[in-house]
């Protein structure tokens, strides 16, 4: 500033001199006119030069201000928003750290359980902080533990290289690419618990996967090699040297128009398994209320009498999602074939499950594979209340008849489960969802006197995700 | 194994498999393009975009919105490398798009072979814009180093136009009797001693010269100089065509990875191809860019004075070599121009 003031002062003096000079010169001899013109010209030049200097200084200040404004845009940022949660970002955008998470608090009520065999409960189903980072242009990682159900477990911990949309590499612990509803986030599923087919696929496995999207996401693929986790398992290690291969393709043929929400896929896995008496590599299967209705035989006294996985396990799952405006349907079928051994008796058991699950938004939101942002989020002042979604589903899980009686006890393990679910979901905004679900499950077998008692299960959930 | 399919299972499979064929689609979904361009092309692309939108809507029924981003060419390239999602780039020098291909891998290295004329649909050159009556009697490059002459040109580190200015001056110095790299360096050094303000881009320099009234001469794109005279009137400025100048070939390219990811590749390709069409060339000429198409070039012949034009390939061995020699960090320009000295 002082520099500018000096120039302005200088210019003022110079201009003052120009104004004063004619009066002074008028008092001198007329013969001096040539000299006066010369001096005037010189002064004008000096004024012009000073004027230029001032303009240059002003322009430099403008440019400095522009640079400062541009630099401010590029500065590291700390943000909080609905999409990314809380995040830190480097100036060049290549390093980011996102802190996200979600929690689900349930009320679980067994309304037809007259004998109170299962206690009604308030229950913290999931409490999962999520840490996601990008490190440089291509690389990143994600860590997600779970503190729900009074336990601590690591669910996601993987490194990822995103080289092009068509090719990325993921290594660590994550969802293997099989089981369509399993691949849907726990915050996006229409009911408090996933359907019966999810019993036949693993939850998390450790391995290496390549994947990507081709033709503007018209084709999505994953191909990976994994330890080979048991059905429903959140596994951290393998029991043998053999590894499982898993793959999936999803075609979304319509990028525009009414059918743009249609996706059709096929996934599968195969691998050799070897369980033992203490880690059988076999799972029990659960109803929607998370009650186990089927389990293989085990004998704590005679190890050889326990059923173990021994041989090939293969899974195949066609699946689809159809989003037609406010109406969406998820359909999947899972075929699970497992070689088992009990005291030298071997068999190949094939279990099957399927479900069709639909939902409809009364408030007009688009029913996609992921939860929508309500058109009118909950706001008391504005008189808006969010989005209301109605949901219904039906599914079955059918245990191979050859499992009975050698590998499973027909008086305690059901051979079939049929589940009907109805639900209402209230999405107050992108972060808060309230769920009320009713699940009616019937069984074939599984009791000494015939069929296991049917379940009527009501669950309420408060979900907060950010 | 026995394979069993229950009736409900079959229904689920049918739901999964039977939903695709035979359903008609509606009108094409509207699409948005981002054109990341250099500083002085605002007016060109504002007019061109309107014309293309009408053409594309008529041809395909698809509405297209085109967003523009302008700045110094080098700076714009840096932004694209850093993740600015440009569907197309229309920059001042091929080297900047090479950098996007090489450092960002946003498009293939052979991008320049995708369209005619090395993917350069129009050309321009560098002229000298002076104030009314040319008070400092500037007639050629040599007059720019005289004491008391104030020269306005942008920063070659950020502006493509500035790099053309610099190379044109260098080429003129080489042509002088006894001219060689040493004398050219000495000449350009003296020239930059007469530069009081380095803007980041060509439009900024025009603002400095025309609106802020700074300097005696602006080294300008021919199109920018003609535009200034058209908008401000011939009574305020004059164009001085130097004895030689440089053939500037601003290139264009589709940013494959972005356009592929966003599903905009067909419209992005059509957008650039339309620059070569007669309507596209007409718009370029009306905005004072030299058209490639013979019929349009003949129509606007009188608009562009004849001047001997040297090429970057011919004098400097191509843009890559020119950049390494003159504009890379620590190269000749950094030696020549040191702020504050």
- Interface residue of A41, A196, A256 to substitute, partner B, most B CBs within 10 Å: A256
Q: Which of A82, A123, A117 is nearest to A104 (CA)?
A: A123
| pLDDT recorded at residue A418 | 97
**Mean pLDDT to the nearest integer, A16-30:** 39
Residues 6+ apart with CB under 8 A from A456: A110, A111, A112, A438, A439, A440
**Mean pLDDT to the nearest integer, B44-53:** 96
**Mean pLDDT to the nearest integer, A104-124:** 87
Question: Computed over its alpha carbons, how large is the radius of gyration of chain B?
Answer: 24
Residues A120-153 have pLDDT tens digits of 889 899 999 999 999 988 899 999 999 998 899 9
Using the predicted structure, report yes or no on whether residue A38 has a pLDDT greater than 60: no
Q: How far is A64 from chain B (nearest CA, A)?
A: 10
| pLDDT recorded at residue A20 | 37
How far is the C-alpha of A370 from the C-alpha of B193, rounded, in Å?
A: 61
Sort strands A261-274 and A285-286 into parallel, antiparallel or unpaired.
unpaired
Residues B262-290 have pLDDT tens digits of 889 999 999 999 999 999 999 999 999 99
Using the predicted structure, report yes or no on whether residue B235 has a pLDDT greater than 90: no
| pLDDT recorded at residue A76 | 67
Its ipTM equals 0.73
Using the beta-carbon criterion (under 8 Å), do A259 and B20 form an inter-chain contact? yes
Using the predicted structure, report yes or no on whether residue B128 has a pLDDT greater than 80: yes
CB-closest option in A216, A255, A337 to B260? A216
Using the predicted structure, report yes or no on whether residue A100 has a pLDDT greater than 50: yes
| pLDDT recorded at residue B233 | 67
B79 inside 8 A of chain A by CB: no
Provide, as residue numbers in chain B, all residues whose Cβ is less than 8 Å from the Cβ of A259: 19-20, 23, 25
| pLDDT recorded at residue A273 | 94
Using the predicted structure, report yes or no on whether residue B21 has a pLDDT greater than 50: no
Residues A428-451 have pLDDT tens digits of 998 999 999 999 999 999 999 999
Give A113's pLDDT tier (boundaries 50, 70, 90). Answer: confident
Using the beta-carbon criterion (under 8 Å), do B12 and A331 form an inter-chain contact? yes
Using the predicted structure, report yes or no on whether residue A182 has a pLDDT greater than 70: yes
Q: If DSSP codes are grouped into helix, strand and coil, which group holds residue A256?
A: coil
How far is the C-alpha of B82 from the C-alpha of B96, rounded, in Å?
A: 13
Using the beta-carbon criterion (under 8 Å), do B196 and A56 form an inter-chain contact? yes
Peptide bond between residue A213 and the one before it cis (omega within 30 degrees of 0):
no
Counting residues of chain A whose pLDDT is more than 70, the rounded percentage is 90
Residues A216-233 have pLDDT tens digits of 778 999 999 999 999 999
B208 inside 8 A of chain A by CB: yes
Q: Which residue of B has its CA nearest to A354?
A: B9
String of DSSP letters for A441-461: EEEEEEETTEEPPPEEEEEEE
Using the predicted structure, report yes or no on whether residue A74 has a pLDDT greater than 80: no
Query: Does B323 or B3 have the greater pLDDT score?
Result: B323
How far is the C-alpha of A192 from the C-alpha of A457, rounded, in Å?
A: 11
CB-closest option in B25, B200, B262 to A254? B25
| pLDDT recorded at residue B340 | 54
Number of residue pairs across A and B with CB atoms under 8 Å? 105
B279 inside 8 A of chain A by CB: no
Residues A163-176 have pLDDT tens digits of 988 999 999 999 99
CB-closest option in B11, B16, B196 to A264? B16
Residues 6+ apart with CB under 8 A from A415: A294, A398, A399, A401, A403, A404, A444, A445, A446
Using the predicted structure, report yes or no on whether residue A19 has a pLDDT greater than 60: no
- Interface residue of A335, A354, A369, A402 to substitute, partner B, most B CBs within 10 Å: A354
| pLDDT recorded at residue A314 | 97
Using the predicted structure, report yes or no on whether residue A103 has a pLDDT greater than 90: yes
Using the beta-carbon criterion (under 8 Å), do B17 and A257 form an inter-chain contact? no
Q: Which residue of B has its CA nearest to A324?
A: B19
Using the beta-carbon criterion (under 8 Å), do A258 and B208 form an inter-chain contact? no
Using the predicted structure, report yes or no on whether residue A35 has a pLDDT greater than 60: no
């Amino acid at each position: 500033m002082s520099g500018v003031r000096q120039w302005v002062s200088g210019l003022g003096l110079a201009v003052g001199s120009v104004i004063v000079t004619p009066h002074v010169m008028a008092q001198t001899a007329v013969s001096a006119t040539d000299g006066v013109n010369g001096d005037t010209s010189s002064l004008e030049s000096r004024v012009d030069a000073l004027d230029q200097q001032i303009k240059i200084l002003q322009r430099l200040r403008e440019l400095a201000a522009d640079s400062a404004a541009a630099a401010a845009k590029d500065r590291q940022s700390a943000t909080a928003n609905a999409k990314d949660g809380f995040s830190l970002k480097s100036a060049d955008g290549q390093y980011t750290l996102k802190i996200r998470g979600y929690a689900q608090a349930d009320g679980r009520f067994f309304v037809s359980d007259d004998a109170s065999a299962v206690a009604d409960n308030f229950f913290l189903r999931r409490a999962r902080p999520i840490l996601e980072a990008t490190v440089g242009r291509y690389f990143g990682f994600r860590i997600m533990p779970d503190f729900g159900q009074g336990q601590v477990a690591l669910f996601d911990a993987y490194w990822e290289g995103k080289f092009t949309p068509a090719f990325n590499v993921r290594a660590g612990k994550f969802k293997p690419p099989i089981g369509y509803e399993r691949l849907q986030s726990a915050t996006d599923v229409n009911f408090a618990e996933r359907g019966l087919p999810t019993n036949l696929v693993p939850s998390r496995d450790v391995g290496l996967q390549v994947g990507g999207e081709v033709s503007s996401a018209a084709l999505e693929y994953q191909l990976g090699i994994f330890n080979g986790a048991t059905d429903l398992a959140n596994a951290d290690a393998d029991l043998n040297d053999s590894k499982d291969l898993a793959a999936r393709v999803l075609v979304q043929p319509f990028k525009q128009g009414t059918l743009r929400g249609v996706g059709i896929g096929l996934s599968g896995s195969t691998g050799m398994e070897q369980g033992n008496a203490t880690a059988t590599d076999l799972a029990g299967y659960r109803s929607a209320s998370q009650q186990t209705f089927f389990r293989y035989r085990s004998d704590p006294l005679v190890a050889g009498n326990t059923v173990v996985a021994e041989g090939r396990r293969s899974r195949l799952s066609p699946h689809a999602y159809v989003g037609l405006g406010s109406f969406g349907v998820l359909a999947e079928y899972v075929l699970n074939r497992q070689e088992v051994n009990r005291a030298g008796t071997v068999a190949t058991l094939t279990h099957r499950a399927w479900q069709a699950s639909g939902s409809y938004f009364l408030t007009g939101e688009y029913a996609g594979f992921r939860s929508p942002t309500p058109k009118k989020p909950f706001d008391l002042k504005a008189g808006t209340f969010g989005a209301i979604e109605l949901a219904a589903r039906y599914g079955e899980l059918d245990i191979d008849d050859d499992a009975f009686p050698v590998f499973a006890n027909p008086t305690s393990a059901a051979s079939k489960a049929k589940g009907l679910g109805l639900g209402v979901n209230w999405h107050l905004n992108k972060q808060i969802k309230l769920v009320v679900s009713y699940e009616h499950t019937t069984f074939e077998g599984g009791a000494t006197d015939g069929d296991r008692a049917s379940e009527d299960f009501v669950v309420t959930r408060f979900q907060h995700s950010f | 194994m026995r394979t069993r399919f229950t009736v409900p299972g079959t229904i689920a499979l049918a739901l999964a498999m039977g939903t695709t064929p035979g359903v008609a689609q509606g009108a094409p979904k509207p699409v948005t393009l981002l054109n990341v361009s250099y500083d002085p092309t605002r007016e060109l692309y504002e007019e061109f975009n309107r014309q293309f939108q009408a053409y594309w809507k008529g041809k395909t029924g698809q509405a297209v919105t085109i967003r523009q981003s302008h700045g110094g060419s080098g700076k714009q390239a840096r932004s694209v490398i850093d993740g600015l999602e440009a569907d197309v780039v229309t920059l001042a020098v091929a080297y900047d798009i090479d950098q996007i291909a090489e450092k960002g891998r946003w498009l293939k290295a052979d991008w320049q072979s995708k369209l005619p004329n090395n993917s350069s649909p129009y050309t321009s050159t560098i002229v000298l814009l002076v104030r009314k009556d040319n008070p400092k009697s500037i007639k050629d490059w040599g007059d720019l180093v005289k004491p008391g002459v104030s020269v306005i040109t942008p920063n070659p580190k950020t502006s493509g136009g500035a790099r053309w200015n610099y190379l044109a001056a260098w080429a003129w110095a080489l042509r002088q009797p006894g001219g060689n790299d040493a004398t050219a360096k000495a000449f350009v050094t003296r020239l930059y001693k007469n530069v009081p303000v380095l803007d980041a881009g060509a439009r900024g320099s025009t603002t400095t010269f025309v609106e802020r009234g700074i300097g005696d001469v602006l080294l300008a794109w021919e199109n920018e100089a003609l535009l200034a005279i058209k908008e401000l009137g011939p009574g305020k400025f004059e164009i001085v065509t130097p004895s030689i100048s440089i053939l500037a070939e601003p290139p264009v390219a589709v940013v494959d990875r972005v356009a592929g990811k966003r599903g905009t590749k067909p419209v992005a390709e059509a957008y650039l191809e339309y620059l070569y069409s007669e309507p596209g060339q007409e718009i370029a000429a009306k905005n004072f860019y030299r058209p490639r198409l013979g019929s349009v070039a003949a129509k606007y012949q009188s608009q562009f004075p004849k001047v001997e034009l040297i090429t970057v390939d011919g004098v400097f061995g191509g843009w890559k070599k020119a950049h390494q020699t003159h504009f890379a960090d620590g190269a000749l320009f950094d030696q020549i121009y040191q702020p504050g000295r």
